[in-house]
Structure 1
Amino acid sequence: MTHISVTVDGTVYEDEVEPRLLLVHYLRERLGLTGTPIGCDTSNCGTCTVELDGASVKSCTVLAVQADGGEVTTIQGLARDGEWSELQRAFHERHALQCGYCTPGMIMAARDLLRENPHPDSDEVRKALEGNLCRCTGYQNIVRAVLAVAEGETASGERTGFAQEVTA
């Protein structure tokens, strides 16, 4: 067993883990954060994407011990005071999901894109999300949702503050 200390969604966890325990299993089984789905276990689908120290990673390719001393943000950590983040809201408003299985990973990867490139075009969004598979939507509404946040508006036309949200 190996001792780890990791901050997940703003809460510090001290734990003893098997050195071979994957981060996705630690999040789901030890911490009960089931918003991060397990997809393929081979890093092909991206459903398990989370942020580790501010960068998106596929949590099925990271050992929990590799997150020791780090900060992890999951899809569940994006909402504040019961309010969805701008990306979560945009995915909902733009119908950027059907079954919803890929949605957490898509949103986390989109956050990473928008942090690096706050004004992507549709080709850049598609390129950034190519490691995240959706078997339902055809990606059109996913791309529209990401572009809506980049352009700073919701479906109702309300201006958003994504840049402040991501850097906060």
Structure 2
Amino acid sequence: MDICDFIAPDKDKDMNPVLTIKTAERAESLIYERLLLLLPEIQAHFQVLYKGTEPIHFEWYPQGCKGECHAENSNFVRGKWLRTKSRDITGVLFLTEYQDQIPYEQDYEVYGGKLEFPQHHFGFNPHRGTLILFPSDPHFINGTSDVFVGDAFQARIQIAAQTPYLYDPQKFPGNYTTWFANEI
């Protein structure tokens, strides 16, 4: 994480470490280079045309922190979801590795920090270098679980399509066991 210039996490009023989110131009340019190579596959899979990408947010979850569940492009207002951001596809790139055994390498391993999708009853433990892409809408509310040991680092990528992406469950039949059959 040296490339992101993270020195210490932000602190709350009681001086406890909290989720820290920053941008980092140099790290961002490395990710953008590789993302551009994936764009044809992303466009084909989600049946969208690429419009642009927001600045990448690098997220630091210190030990004891978690990320609240949220929809990437919408807020729940007066009993219904309202699209409030021009985001269509979200990517989370894990920068740390899940480890629940010893020995433990504190520089890049973490126990906890799973990317969870509560509506679909599944999640992904961090695997350094893995990019998870999903629709940004309320069908894929997500959060990062408690970090029990170490620090979790990830990059959150927000992609906009030329026309708003509308999630159609009929195009993705099954559930996570069939969606990710090659990964599970």
TM-score, normalised to structure 2, is: 0.24
Say which structure is richer in strand. Answer: 2
Say which structure is richer in helix. Answer: 1
TM-score, normalised to structure 1, is: 0.25
The higher-RCO structure (CA 8 Å, 6+ apart) is: 2
